[in-house]
Structure 1
Amino acid sequence: MVDPADTPKTPGEAPLEAHSKLTAGERIHFQVFEGRAEPVDPVPTAVVCPHEEGSLGGALEAHDRDLIEPILVGDPDAIRKAADSLGRSIDGFEIIERKSHAEAAATAVKLVHDQRVRCLMKGHIHTDDFLHPIVRRDGGLRTGRRLSHVFVADLPRHPRPLLITDAAINITPDLATKADIVQNAIDLAMALGIQVPKVAILSAVETVNQVIPSSVDAAILAKMADRGQIKGGIVDGPFAMDNAIDAQAAATKGLDSPVAGQAEVLVVPSIEAGNILLKGLTFLGGAESAGLVIGATVPIMLTSRADDDRARAASAALALLYDHWAKSRSVPLT
Structure 2
Amino acid sequence: MLELTDQELVQSKYDRLIAAARSDRPPATIVVHPCDEPSLRGALQAAAEKLIAPLLVGPEAKIRAVAAAHGMDLAGQEIVDAPHSHAAAASAVAMIREGKGELLMKGSLHTDELMREVTASATGLRTERRISHVFIMDVPGHAETLFITDAAINIVPDLDVKRDIIQNAIDLWTGIGLGTPRVAILSAVETVTSKIPSTIEAAALCKMAERGQITGGQLEGPLAFDNAVDPEAARIKGIASPVAGHAQILVVPDLEAGNMLAKNLIFLAHADAAGLVLGARVPIVLTSRADSVRTRLASCAVAALYAAARRRNAPVPATGLA
Verify the 8 A CA contact 1:16 1:193 in the aligned structure 2: no
**Letter paired with 2:124:** G
Query: What aligned pairs does 1:1-334 form with structure 2 within 5 A after superposition?
Result: 14-18=1-5, 21-23=8-10, 28-39=12-23, 41-329=25-313
Deviation at 1:76, TM superposition (A): 1.0
1:122-154 superposed Cα distances (whole Å, 9 cap, x missing partner): 111111111112111212111111100000111
Aligned to 2:319: none
- Partners of 1:180 and 1:301 lie apart in 2 by 19
TM normalised by structure 1 equals 0.91
Deviation at 1:302, TM superposition (A): 1.4
| Stretches of structure 1 lacking an aligned partner (at least 5 in a row) | 1-13
| Stretches of structure 2 lacking an aligned partner (at least 5 in a row) | 317-322
- Partners of 2:63 and 2:22 lie apart in 1 by 28
Aligned to 1:3: none
Verify the 8 A CA contact 2:14 2:294 in the aligned structure 1: no
- Partners of 1:248 and 1:34 lie apart in 2 by 32
Deviation at 1:21, TM superposition (A): 3.2
Verify the 8 A CA contact 2:136 2:146 in the aligned structure 1: yes
- Shift of the 193–209 alpha-carbon distance from structure 1 to 2, 3 Å rule, reads same
State percent identity of aligned pairs. 49
Deviation at 1:252, TM superposition (A): 0.6
- Shift of the 300–47 alpha-carbon distance from structure 1 to 2, 3 Å rule, reads same
Deviation at 1:100, TM superposition (A): 2.1
- Partners of 1:286 and 1:100 lie apart in 2 by 35
1:241-270 superposed Cα distances (whole Å, 9 cap, x missing partner): 000011111011000111001100000111
TM normalised by structure 2 equals 0.95
Verify the 8 A CA contact 2:59 2:81 in the aligned structure 1: yes
Deviation at 1:309, TM superposition (A): 2.2
SS in structure 2 at match of 1:229: coil
- Partners of 1:224 and 1:192 lie apart in 2 by 24
**Letter paired with 1:305:** R
Deviation at 1:192, TM superposition (A): 2.3
- Partners of 1:19 and 1:159 lie apart in 2 by 10
Deviation at 1:211, TM superposition (A): 1.1
1:207-257 superposed Cα distances (whole Å, 9 cap, x missing partner): 111110111111111111111101100111000000001111101100011
- Partners of 2:228 and 2:24 lie apart in 1 by 33
**Letter paired with 1:218:** A
Verify the 8 A CA contact 2:23 2:51 in the aligned structure 1: no
- Shift of the 193–136 alpha-carbon distance from structure 1 to 2, 3 Å rule, reads same
**Letter paired with 2:190:** E
- Partners of 2:5 and 2:268 lie apart in 1 by 24
- Partners of 1:260 and 1:176 lie apart in 2 by 24
Please give the root-mean-square deviation of Cα atoms over the aligned residues, in Å. Answer: 1.5
Deviation at 1:15, TM superposition (A): 4.4
**Letter paired with 1:17:** L
Deviation at 1:64, TM superposition (A): 0.9
Matched length = 316
